[in-house]
């Protein structure tokens, strides 16, 4: 019997001198306790050394995939003659099947063979003979690094870990900005409460505070670069009749320091968003075109990586981000959620209100998103045709011109005569949507909005909030 033993330096072929030892696998290790005992069981017949690391990597990759490489095939043809039907002991079953199919050589791979391979590994230095241990260790280290690079397919432009970290930091910055702005509005509201109702934009509100300081300096301040002319007049009029309390210089100094922090975080958030946008276009261009930067990045972060997202089925992608609601519904035996993060994409936002939550469109978008992420994760060329085509098709469906919606053609029943069919008019429903609305942070409802609703609806909202 011949034994095929794979090493980082090459292929070693041993002749099994005592075949009875293979049947006694439980006591086989006793024969390999010393180099002399190992030489009595096995004898090196041939050693085929790899030329360089590239050849070793190709052979190892083929062995991992259960394929027969050219070098091993050539050596086996010369060693195993067609006249003598020798059995070949192989550690890997897939490799043994490949050898059997290609060369018609009987291969054996079982637990006894695995025990023999472990014993050979303990006395590899003495059995291989002329191969120094230092050289074998260096080749093993180089081959391990090369194989790891091959498996990872490392590329600096294809690192989705940076996307996961960037979108997580972006969400954290949004939360911190909201907390800082809430504190800033409440703090400065004791001095000038009317300003918060007039200036609703957070950055403009902070810049206005830094420009005017205390409200008694409002009339002498120039706010034309920050606010529109009509808003500036309202601010100056409100400052003259303000009902706020007086604050000291120490107080306004600390408020201005808080405003500086808000502006710095806002500026950094803009830089981080630009970085995330460029990184998403480099790593997942089709997913970015189809879903948008923020939603696409959140889907990648929720799945763990772009490859994991590509492996998810469309039904999983559809509710990705709604895990808490899903398990709560399963626990309470209620209806499961229809959508998760995918609902916040730009294409769903462009649809009309009555078509936003329809399962038909969401399932279609989830399926196309899976194709786009698979193309980005597994495709070699960074082409964007797939994402562009799918986006155009979904916009066509959402605009109301597609026949699948069932409401593309609406009859306009006019006066019809005999032999004349009803007239139809085509209705398009298309709404513009801004990327800024991709944020998934909760929004507080105003009391006036709830007050105008019916009493029963108020009770339902109250019960829902109480839960």
pLDDT score, position 190:
92
Select from 154, 189, 220 the last residue of a domain: 154
Q: Buried b / exposed e across 252-288, counting CB within 10 Å, b at 16+?
A: eeebeebbeebeebbeebeeebeebbebbbbbbbbbb
- Domain that includes residue 395, residue range: 284-404
Find tokens 């196309």 and name the residue.
368
Tell me: do 366 and 295 sit in the same domain.
yes
Tell me: do 150 and 165 sit in the same domain.
no
Mean pLDDT for the chain overall: 77
Find tokens 């139809």 and name the residue.
424
Residue 297 has pLDDT above 70, yes or no: yes
Specify the range with the lowest mean pLDDT, choosing from 66-75, 446-455, 457-466. 457-466
Select from 154, 173, 189 the last residue of a domain: 154
Residue 416 has pLDDT above 50, yes or no: no
Residue 466 forms part of a structural domain? no
The number of distinct structural domains making up the chain is: 3
Query: What's the pTM?
Result: 0.54
Q: Give the pLDDT confidence of 376-409 residue by residue, as tens digits.
A: 777 766 677 777 787 787 777 655 434 343 343 3
The enclosing domain of 201 has a CATH number of 1.10.287.4070
Q: How confident is the model at residue 358 (pLDDT cuts 50, 70, 90)?
A: low
Tell me: do 306 and 341 sit in the same domain.
yes
Residue 353 forms part of a structural domain? yes
Tell me: do 216 and 327 sit in the same domain.
no
Stretch 419-431: mean pLDDT: 49
Tell me: do 188 and 296 sit in the same domain.
no
The enclosing domain of 339 has a CATH number of 1.10.246.90
Residue 210 forms part of a structural domain? yes
Tell me: do 263 and 304 sit in the same domain.
no
Residue 455 forms part of a structural domain? no
Stretch 237-265: mean pLDDT: 92
Tell me: do 249 and 321 sit in the same domain.
no
CA distance 179 to 280: 28
pLDDT score, position 66:
76
Stretch 204-214: mean pLDDT: 92
Residue 202 forms part of a structural domain? yes
Stretch 324-347: mean pLDDT: 82
83 or 61, greater pLDDT = 61
411 or 324, greater pLDDT = 324
Tell me: do 169 and 145 sit in the same domain.
no
Residue 414 forms part of a structural domain? no
pLDDT score, position 219:
87
Q: Give how far Cα 258 sits from Cα of 38, 254, 262, Å.
A: 77, 6, 6
Max mean pLDDT range (10-24, 29-43, 84-98, 221-235)? 221-235
Q: Percent of the chain scored above 70 by pLDDT?
A: 77
153 or 404, greater pLDDT = 153
Tell me: do 143 and 210 sit in the same domain.
no
pLDDT score, position 131:
72
Residue 438 forms part of a structural domain? no
Q: Give the pLDDT confidence of 214-234 residue by residue, as tens digits.
A: 888 888 888 888 999 999 999
Select from 106, 125, 154 the last residue of a domain: 154
Residue 317 forms part of a structural domain? yes
Residue 177 has pLDDT above 70, yes or no: yes
pLDDT score, position 174:
93
Stretch 94-103: mean pLDDT: 83
Q: How confident is the model at residue 263 (pLDDT cuts 50, 70, 90)?
A: very high
pLDDT score, position 414:
42
pLDDT score, position 434:
63
Q: How confident is the model at residue 183 (pLDDT cuts 50, 70, 90)?
A: very high
Two tokens at 202? 């957070």
pLDDT score, position 252:
92
Stretch 69-96: mean pLDDT: 76
The enclosing domain of 69 has a CATH number of 3.30.420.220
Residue 313 has pLDDT above 80, yes or no: yes
pLDDT score, position 443:
57
Tell me: do 138 and 15 sit in the same domain.
yes
pLDDT score, position 85:
57
Residue 437 has pLDDT above 80, yes or no: no
Tell me: do 215 and 165 sit in the same domain.
yes
Stretch 437-456: mean pLDDT: 53
264 or 424, greater pLDDT = 264
Tell me: do 259 and 393 sit in the same domain.
no
60 or 460, greater pLDDT = 60
Strand 107-108 to 409-412 pairing: unpaired
pLDDT score, position 168:
92
């Amino acid at each position: 019997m011949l034994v095929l033993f794979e090493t980082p330096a090459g292929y070693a072929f041993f002749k099994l001198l005592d075949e009875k030892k293979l049947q006694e696998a439980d006591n086989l290790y006793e024969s390999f306790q010393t180099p002399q005992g190992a030489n009595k069981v096995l004898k090196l017949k041939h050693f085929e050394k790899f030329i360089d690391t590239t050849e070793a990597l190709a052979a190892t990759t083929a062995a991992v995939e259960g394929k027969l490489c050219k070098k091993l095939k050539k050596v086996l043809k010369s060693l195993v003659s067609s006249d003598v039907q020798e059995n070949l002991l192989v550690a890997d079953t897939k490799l043994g099947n490949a050898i059997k199919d290609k060369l018609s050589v009987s291969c054996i791979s079982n637990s006894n063979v695995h025990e023999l391979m472990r014993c050979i590994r303990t006395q590899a230095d003495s059995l291989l003979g002329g191969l120094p241990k230092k050289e074998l260790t260096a080749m093993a280290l180089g081959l391990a690094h090369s194989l790891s690079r091959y498996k990872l397919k490392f590329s600096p432009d294809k690192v989705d870990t940076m996307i996961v970290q960037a979108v997580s930091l972006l969400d954290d910055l949004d939360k911190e900005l909201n907390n800082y702005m809430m504190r800033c509005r409440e703090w400065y509201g004791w001095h000038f409460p009317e300003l918060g109702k007039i200036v609703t934009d957070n950055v403009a509100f902070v810049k206005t505070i830094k420009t005017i300081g205390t409200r008694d300096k409002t009339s002498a301040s120039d706010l034309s670069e920050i606010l529109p002319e009509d808003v500036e007049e309202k601010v100056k009029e409100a400052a003259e009749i303000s009902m706020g309390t007086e604050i000291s210089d120490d107080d306004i100094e600390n408020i201005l320091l808080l405003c500086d922090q808000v502006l710095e975080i806002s500026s950094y958030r803009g830089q981080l968003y630009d970085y995330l946008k460029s990184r998403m276009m480099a790593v997942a261009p089709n997913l970015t075109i189809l879903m948008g930067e923020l939603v696409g990045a959140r889907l990648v972060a929720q799945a763990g990586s772009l490859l994991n997202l590509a492996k998810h089925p469309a039904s999983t992608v559809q509710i990705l981000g709604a895990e808490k609601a899903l398990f709560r519904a399963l626990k309470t035996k209620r209806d499961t959620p229809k959508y998760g993060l995918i609902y916040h994409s730009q294409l769903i936002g462009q649809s009309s209100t009555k078509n936003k939550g329809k399962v038909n469109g969401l399932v279609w978008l989830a399926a196309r998103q899976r194709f786009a992420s698979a193309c980005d994760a597994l495709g070699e060329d960074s082409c964007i045709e797939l994402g562009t085509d799918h986006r155009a098709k979904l916009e066509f469906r959402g605009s109301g011109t597609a026949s699948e919606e069932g409401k593309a053609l609406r009859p306009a029943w006019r006066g019809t005569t005999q032999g004349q069919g009803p007239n139809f008019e085509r209705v398009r429903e298309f709404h513009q949507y801004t990327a800024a609305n991709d944020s998934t942070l909760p929004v507080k409802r105003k009391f006036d909005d709830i007050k105008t609703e019916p009493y029963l609806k108020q009770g339902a909202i109250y019960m829902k909030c109480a839960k």
